[in-house]
């Protein structure tokens, strides 16, 4: 299948792109390099450097490459930032998604996979969270994703474009020692903890230890990025049977203290931790009920063990202490929009591209 992967140079998108290439699909990565990294794009994928805000460039890319399916990872992805900059998430994320959907519908793309989020559930009434749980987005980030989910329903109805909305819990781990997480700035727990182990930070701050949880720290469902990505491929194939929505997590919850303790065991570093105030917008516990995706797609996490997840991340961070170390966050050269290149060639190129207005890679 020919598949367009937006945000395919980012953390989760690049892993999905690698898995698609490995399965023999014809992959076109579309990325602005606002947050993505050239070196993350798998050999064998083609590359379109474009910003989803540039509807003309998006339309041209879809017209040229004629994808049968789209995986849409490119997005602003930070809950906290969305509380500071709601229009980036209620505006940009939604507008860019709409540009993509409009062109996809116009050019007859039949399959669409959306990176959605557990933030749709805000403060969940019950845990683990199944797909029937009340939707009450916890932030403009979650609200923007929910708007896109709702749009997809109508685009399926009106154009027959089948979709899967995958509501991620906490993506973590690395596909290989050469393909892992590299955000700037980094805000996620596991990479921050490992930066302490690398000596790049003095300590990690625990955002509150007075939560109603067994050890007082927040509980999250950390799911290996490779498992997350493989769910996209299964969903892509399953769309023959109709559109669908899944909560996508490990199904197991781990507290912040458990993460830090496991990282100490994996790295052999004492990883000092200090307790700070709660982070606004954090729910106490988020854990996915994975029954639907298991039953319908036969998906199950292969790397469900926290130790395995952290060990894979540690291999990546230890080998690449400065991440991809490229210029992936540099300002855009607008002449790049819509340019197509072979990724193997573009990886060697020293030029830097990005987006002035900032869609990064999703996840």
Instruction: Name the segment binding ligand UDP (CB under 6 A); options: 1-9, 46-54, 90-98, 201-209.
Output: 201-209
> Residues in contact with ligand UDP, total (CB under 6 A)?
15
What mask of x and - would describe binding to ligand UDP in positions 181 to 200, judged by CB under 6 A? ------xxx--x--------
**Number of residues written out for the chain:** 363
Shortest gap between Cβ of 350 and ligand UDP (angstroms)?
Answer: 33
Rounded CA separation 28/354 (Å): 17
Interface with ligand UDP includes 205 (CB under 6 A)? yes
Interface with ligand UDP includes 145 (CB under 6 A)? no
* 3 state DSSP class of 267: helix
Interface with ligand UDP includes 203 (CB under 6 A)? no
Interface with ligand UDP includes 207 (CB under 6 A)? yes
Interface with ligand UDP includes 148 (CB under 6 A)? no
Interface with ligand UDP includes 218 (CB under 6 A)? yes
DSSP per residue, 60-93: HHHHHH--SEEEE--S---HHHHHH-HHIIIIIH
Q: Are strands 204-207 and 170-172 parallel, antiparallel or unpaired?
A: unpaired
Interface with ligand UDP includes 129 (CB under 6 A)? no
Interface with ligand UDP includes 244 (CB under 6 A)? no
Between 112 and 246, CB nearer to ligand UDP: 246
User: 363: which DSSP letter?
Assistant: -
Give the chain's largest Cα–Cα span: 57
Burial-class residue 185 by CB neighbours within 10 Å (0-12, 13-18, 19+).
exposed
Give the residue numbers marked as catalytic. 141
Rounded CA separation 13/84 (Å): 25
Per-state percent for the chain, helix, strand, coil, to nearest 5: 40, 20, 40
Shortest gap between Cβ of 55 and ligand UDP (angstroms)?
Answer: 30
Interface with ligand UDP includes 232 (CB under 6 A)? no
User: Which residues is 342 bridged to in the sheet?
Assistant: 46
**Rg value, the chain, Cα:** 19
Between 282 and 305, CB nearer to ligand UDP: 282
Rounded CA separation 183/75 (Å): 13
Between 22 and 123, CB nearer to ligand UDP: 123
Interface with ligand UDP includes 3 (CB under 6 A)? no
Between 167 and 188, CB nearer to ligand UDP: 188
The site for ligand UDP (CB under 6 A) is made up of: 79, 170, 187-189, 192, 204-207, 218, 220, 256, 279, 282
């Amino acid at each position: 299948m020919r598949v367009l992967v937006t945000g395919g140079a980012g953390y989760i998108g690049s892993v999905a792109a690698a898995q698609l290439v490995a399965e023999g699909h014809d992959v076109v990565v579309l990325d602005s390099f606002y947050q993505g990294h050239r070196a993350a794009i798998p050999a064998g994928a083609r590359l379109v450097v474009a910003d989803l805000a540039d509807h003309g460039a998006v339309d041209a890319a879809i017209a040229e490459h004629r994808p049968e399916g789209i995986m849409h990872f490119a997005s602003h992805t930070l809950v906290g930032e969305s509380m500071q900059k709601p229009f980036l998430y209620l505006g940009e994320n939604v507008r860019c998604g709409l540009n993509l959907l409009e062109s996809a519908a116009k050019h007859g793309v039949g399959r669409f996979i959306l990176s959605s989020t557990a933030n749709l559930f805000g403060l969940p009434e019950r845990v683990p969270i199944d797909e029937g749980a009340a939707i009450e987005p916890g932030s403009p980030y979650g609200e923007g994703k929910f708007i896109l989910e709702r749009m997809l329903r109508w685009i399926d109805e009106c154009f027959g474009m089948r979709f899967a909305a995958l509501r991620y819990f906490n993506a973590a781990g690395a596909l290989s020692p050469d393909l892992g997480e590299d955000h700037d700035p980094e805000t996620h727990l596991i990479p921050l903890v490992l930066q302490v182990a690398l000596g790049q930070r003095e300590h990690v701050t625990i955002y509150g230890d007075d939560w109603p949880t067994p050890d007082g720290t927040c509980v999250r469902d950390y799911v290996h990025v490779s498992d997350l990505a493989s769910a996209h491929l299964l969903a892509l194939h399953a769309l023959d049977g109709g559109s669908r929505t899944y909560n996508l997590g490990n199904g197991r919850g781990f507290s912040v203290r458990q993460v830090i303790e496991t990282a100490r065991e994996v790295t052999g570093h004492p990883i000092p931790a200090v307790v700070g105030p709660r982070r606004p917008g954090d729910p106490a516990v988020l854990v996915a009920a994975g029954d639907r995706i298991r039953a319908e797609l036969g998906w199950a996490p292969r790397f469900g063990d926290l130790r395995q997840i952290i060990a894979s991340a540690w291999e990546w961070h230890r080998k690449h202490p400065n991440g991809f170390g490229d210029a992936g966050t540099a300002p855009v050269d607008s002449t790049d929009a819509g340019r197509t290149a072979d990724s193997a060639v573009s990886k060697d190129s020293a030029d830097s591209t990005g987006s002035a207005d900032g869609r990064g890679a999703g996840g």
